[in-house]
Amino acid sequence: MSDFPNQPPRRLRVLAAMSGGVDSAVAAARAAEAGHDVTGVHLALSANPQSFRTGARGCCTVEDSRDARRAADVIGIPFYVWDLAERFREDVVEDFVAEYAAGRTPNPCLRCNEKIKFAALLDRALALGFDAVCTGHYANVATAPDGTRELHRSADAGKDQSYVLGVLDQRQLAHAMFPLGDTRATKDEIRAEAERRGLAVARKPDSHDICFIADGDTQGFLARRLGSQEGPILDEEGAVVGTHEGAYAFTVGQRKGLRLGVPAADGKPRYVLDISPVNNTVTVGPAEALEVTALTAVRPRWCGAPPEGPVRCTAQLRAHGEDVAVTAEADGDTLAVAFDEPVRGVAPGQAVVLYDGTRVIGSATIAATDRTARTPAPTGRTA
């Protein structure tokens, strides 16, 4: 599948978001090579752009801006830097902190794609007369027979990034272009392509983890903003088995770093089962207590028409997670999902993304989970 496959070939005005990394540089080069009128733009998102990345962490620094500019020069396209730092701080960073303070585990990449790259950036691009926004994501956009746009997994499942794009709606998909989505090239082959094109970012390390936490210390980042909030760590019976300096530092399913003072009676490892910001407690227990049979999610975002009635489909619960079979039913602003088999490590704040084969149906934010005994999944039609 490729971008705009069922439309007559035409020269599009394309705004290529260039992070300063190899993927976005190759995507911009491919769009230009396809004959489109491409302009590169680097989003200045850091409140302190003078800082430089540490190893393979971080992004959006002066170094990245310069790398993006050099890549645009080699490709032969105009290049600009747009300052969206304030919008990024409000919509992504502050949302991230607030979600952790509320005992939830957010995914800032989804929020960035929704609020920055395909909202703030796309709105500005359309206002300036561009037809599409191009990024280096590994995903596919196709046009269905009825003319609607569909988001699909990338050709290479190992690099697929459709999970973090599951927040895109029809309007946004209509102007999205992902030139890397239909390639089965390995990352080494993408780097080799960049080298053949003369792009200096060919050997640049990938950024990873959370882009605005350059040192990778999420707990330290949150502590600086939320302060120390000492509280108890409880077992399933309510007995105190340890203390913590802030419930926000934990996520459901976490095993390491619990520093429990009282070992489990059976000697087995314990995991975080629940985080309660109201009374500042963290509850731990055995791995089997993490098993979730159903969830309720809110704020659904549909890539096309919302599903009608219960549908059989698959769900992905984290960026690199496995597909699991589910029955899902939308009801206004909520989504109910029942798992065929129990799953572990599902935390409020995470995104659940639904798929019909390779097609993304939509996504929603997990609000609550059900750990009661499993019941047979209701019968529903396939999405």
Of the candidates 112, 134, 303, 313, the residue annotated as catalytic is 112
| 219 CB neighbour count, 10 Å cutoff | 15
**Collapsing DSSP states into helix, strand and coil, what is residue 205?**
coil
Tokens describing residue 282: 């963290």
Of the candidates 59, 60, 134, 211, the residue annotated as catalytic is 211
Q: Among residues 313, 309, 320, which one has the least CA distance to residue 358? A: 313
Phi, psi at residue 70, to the nearest 5°?
-65, -40
Per-residue CA distances from 214 to 87, 117, 136, 293 (Å): 19, 20, 21, 36
User: Over 318-334, what HEC string results?
Assistant: CCCCCCEEEEEEEECCE
Active site residue 112: yes
**Collapsing DSSP states into helix, strand and coil, what is residue 279?**
coil
Q: Among residues 52, 40, 37, 113, which one has the least CA distance to residue 82? A: 40
Tokens describing residue 365: 């934010």
Active site residue 59: no
Beta bridge partners of 41: 17, 80
| 162 CB neighbour count, 10 Å cutoff | 26
Cβ partners under 8 Å of residue 280, min gap 6: 229, 230, 231, 232, 247
CA-CA-CA-CA dihedral for 230, 234, 238, 241, to nearest 10 = -100
Start-end of H helices in the chain: 22-33, 62-75, 85-88, 94-101, 108-112, 121-127, 170-173, 187-196, 218-226
Sheet holding 271-276, edge to edge: 240-244, 231-234, 281-285, 271-276
Place of tokens 């080298």: 195
Active site members: 112, 211
